[in-house]
Amino acid sequence: MKFRGTYLQSLFSSHIQNIQIKVRALNSIFEQWDTQAVSGLWNISGEPCSGSALNGTDFESPNDNPDINPAIECDCTYDNGTTCHITKLRIDRNYFTGPLPAFIGNMSALTILYIRFNSFSGPIPKELGNLKELTVLDIGSNNFSGTLPPKLGNLVKLEQLYLDSCGLGGEIPSTFAKLTNMQILRFHGNSFEGPIPTSFSQLTSLNTLFLGNNNLSGPLPSQKNDQLQTMTLSPVGDHNATTSSWIELPPEKFSMQSKYPNM
C-alpha cells in the first residue's frame, strides 16, 4: 500500500507539473505578444482547458466567432479522462510581431497549429520539430527569415504544411523525405533555392504541391507520384521544365503559369 500511495503521489505530482508546463508555455507566448484570452472563454491563469477550450466548434469556425482568438482546444481523454492536454492552438490574423517563441515546442500534444497572417520575424525555432503529434502546421503569411529547420522532418504525422509567403529561403531540407503522410505542401512565394527535392516523389500521400515564386532550379525528379492532383511550379527560377517525364496531370490541374489555383 505504501508503494501504491507513493506511485499515486508521483502520478498526481506529474499531472500538476504538466498543467504548470502548459500554463507557463501559454503565458510565455501571450505575454510576449501582449495579449490574453478573452475573459470568460478560457483560462490562462490556472487550468487552461476550460470554457471554449472544450468546444471544438468554436475553434474550427473562427469566422463564426472571431472573438475566440487566440484560441485553444483541449483533449481531456488522457489517463482515463483524468488529464487534459492542449491539442490545438490558433493565433492567426492577430498581426503579432517579433520572434516565434521556442517555448511553443513544449506543447508536445499539439495536433494543429495556426499562426498565419501575423508579422513574426526571425528564424523558425527548431523546437517546432518537437511537436511530433502535429497533423496541420500553418505558418504562412509572416516575415520569418533564414531557412527551414531540418528537425521539421521529425513531424512524421504531418498531413498539411503551409509555408507560403512566410519569408524563408535556402534549400528545402532533405529530412522532408520522412513526411510520408503529407497531403498538402505549399512553399510558394518565398526565396527557396537549390534543386527541387527528389524526395517529393516519395511522398506517396501528396496530392497538392505549390512551389511557384521561388528560386528553385534544376530538373524535376525523375519519378512521379500517382496521388498528386494539383501542382503549381512557375515561376520557380530557371528550372528545367521537363514535366512530361515525371507527371501526367490534366492541364487544369498542372499549372506552369504565374497565377496559383484558387486557395
Q: Where are the domains of the chain?
A: 2-255
Whether pTM exceeds 0.85: no
Cis, peptide link before residue 125, omega less than 30° from 0: no
Contacts of 20 by beta carbon, 8 Å cutoff, 6+ apart: none
| Residue 152 in grid coordinates | 521539421
Q: Give 239's pLDDT tier (boundaries 50, 70, 90).
A: very low
What single-letter amino acid sits at 64? D
What are 112-145's pLDDT values in tens digits? 999 999 999 999 999 999 999 999 999 999 999 9
Top CATH class of 2-255 equals alpha beta
184 vs 179: CA distance, rounded Å: 11
pLDDT, residue 93, reads 85
* pLDDT over threshold 80, residue 226: no
* Burial grade of 206 (CB within 10 A; 0-12, 13-18, 19 or more): buried
What are 86-115's pLDDT values in tens digits? 899 888 888 888 899 888 898 889 999 999
* pLDDT over threshold 60, residue 171: yes
The position carrying cell 529547420 is 149
Cis, peptide link before residue 149, omega less than 30° from 0: no
